[in-house]
Structure 1
Amino acid sequence: MSQSRLGGRTALITGAGLGIGRAAALRLAEEGAAVILADRNEERLRETAALLGDAPHLAIPCDVTSEAQVADLFSAALAWRPLDILVNNVGGGRSGRIADLSLEDWEATMALSLRSMFLCTRAAVPGMAARGYGRIVCLSSGARNGTVWNAFYTGAAPYSTAKAGVIGFVRALAIELGDSGITINAVAPGPIDTELAGPYLRAMDEQGLEYAPSRMVPLHRLGTPREVADAILFLAGDEASYITGTTLDVAGGR
């Protein structure tokens, strides 16, 4: 494995059991980082850990929407190694048209994308600030501006709202943490061929829907988790040392 970019660094990735989170864990480990894997699905967590082989890693089951579980996660993580990089990958939501959405649908979506990001960032910042170094990367989405295929066919206001909130969070904290040695940025994926989203996105293409992803994205294809992980790697490394408060779109030109 290459040790040239993140050798000696430790990264914590939430939602590391699948998709973009798993790809980010593997990519950062390829570049020499020791990785802490967090996911509430223990089976998926074990699968990601197995893929890492002999690379230094620690797998911790955790629901990062729970304040108590996040406290335990960081206690265990920091007992293992000081934390240099945090990837707030957990997110998701419930679809539905606005008239049909329940308050539970709305709040569950805010918890996944916003509460989890707040809890983990709050836990990571003191140690990073004390050491004068930190890289925080949060996952937003092209949906922050409204994703046509989701909004038109199923309704997706909660998810779009939550992912727009990520941008405000990153912008405000970039200013707040500017003197601390910590940078915080966002990556905003477009339609990505993950295990969960890929079948749904490809089905729309196969049906020839007017607003299918392949029609709406200039590159006319789905992105891969690895392509998003490469963007996360860039923002997590020293090459992005003068970048903070920024959102990097990985969306095929959309």
Structure 2
Amino acid sequence: MNDAPKQPLISGPRLAGRTALVTGAGLGIGRATAICLAQHGARVIATDIDDTRLSDTLSMLPEGSDALAHRADVTDEQSVSDLFALVGETAPLDILVNNVGGGRPGRIWELSLEDWETTMRLSLASMFLCTRAALPGMIERGYGRVVCLSSGARNGTVWNALHMGACAYSTAKAGIIGFVRDLAIELADSGVTINAVAPGPIDTELAGPFLRAMDEADLPYAPSKMVPMGRLGTPEEVANAILYLASSEASYVTGTTLDVAGGR
């Protein structure tokens, strides 16, 4: 039986001395996560496909933050290779947050194969490519934290399914759970943990207007009706959950999915 490593009490910034890569950091949960990790002392590498959004994110980080931005398409193998070459020149990577995701809504008879494959590429290929690139260094150093963004949609989101259809997105977000569960076992003795966070309806720049419109229209199964807390969540509330899983405090947590969904 392996003895548990002694964990020091956390004092000061919870991620001091750690380097974190956040994908999809240009808006929403990714931006909130980059800010949160920087607030807790991490060196943050923010990546997104939109340079303007990345610049805006960097401008919101705490004054004096050790951070850089790099444009990358994390669904593309060569782009990910270039990104991690840059990361390797910066500092050993301790934390990877796989935040990129999304997809095309529609009922299954309306979806093309391209729609389906685009959704899988955004959520699953991006996660696979970045995690594959990050793990060798983490394993070699005996420390790493990987956090992947799933969703309450992994079980089917009633308001999406009922009003527009979202089987591709739900399938992709369910796939993240299998990825995390398997890799937690593969990595169990390596010092690297991997977990998922599953947000409920979150008031981001992109999703918030749509979710609020459903509430205001008083549609059956509107988001706030389905959430026991009766409101949308904030990107910062999701970022705080990611912070915990990215920290040394979560040293005995791996292969789990943490719901941040207001009781749903």
Shorter-chain TM range is over 0.9
1:47 to 56, 62, 65: 56
2:23 to 9, 14, 21: 14
Deviations 1:165-217 (A, max 9, x none): 00000000000011111000000000000000000000000000111001000
Structure 2 counterpart of 1:28: 37
TM-score, normalised with respect to structure 1: 0.99
Cα distance, 1:146 vs. partner? 0.1
TM-score, normalised with respect to structure 2: 0.95
Structure 2 counterpart of 1:147: 157
Structure 2 counterpart of 1:138: 148
Q: Distance in 2 between matches of 1:242 and 1:73?
A: 30
Q: 1:64·1:119 contact (CA, 8 Å) conserved in 2?
A: yes
Unaligned runs of 5+ in 1: none
Q: Distance in 1 between matches of 2:64 and 2:12?
A: 14
Structure 2 counterpart of 1:97: 107
Q: Percent identity?
A: 72
Deviations 1:109-140 (A, max 9, x none): 00000000000000000000010000000000
Deviations 1:44-66 (A, max 9, x none): 00100111242000100000000
1:235 to 245, 252, 258: 245
In the TM superposition, structure 1's runs of 4+ consecutive aligned residues that sit over 4 Å from their partners are: none
Q: Distance in 1 between matches of 2:177 and 2:89?
A: 31
1:80 to 90, 93, 111: 90
Matched residue type, 1:37 = A
Q: Distance in 1 between matches of 2:13 and 2:131?
A: 26
Matched residue type, 2:31 = R
Q: What secondary structure, in the 3-state scheme, does the structure 1 residue paired with 2:69 have? A: strand
Superposed CA RMSD? 0.8
Unaligned runs of 5+ in 2: 1-10
How many residues are matched? 253
Q: Distance in 2 between matches of 1:231 and 1:75?
A: 28
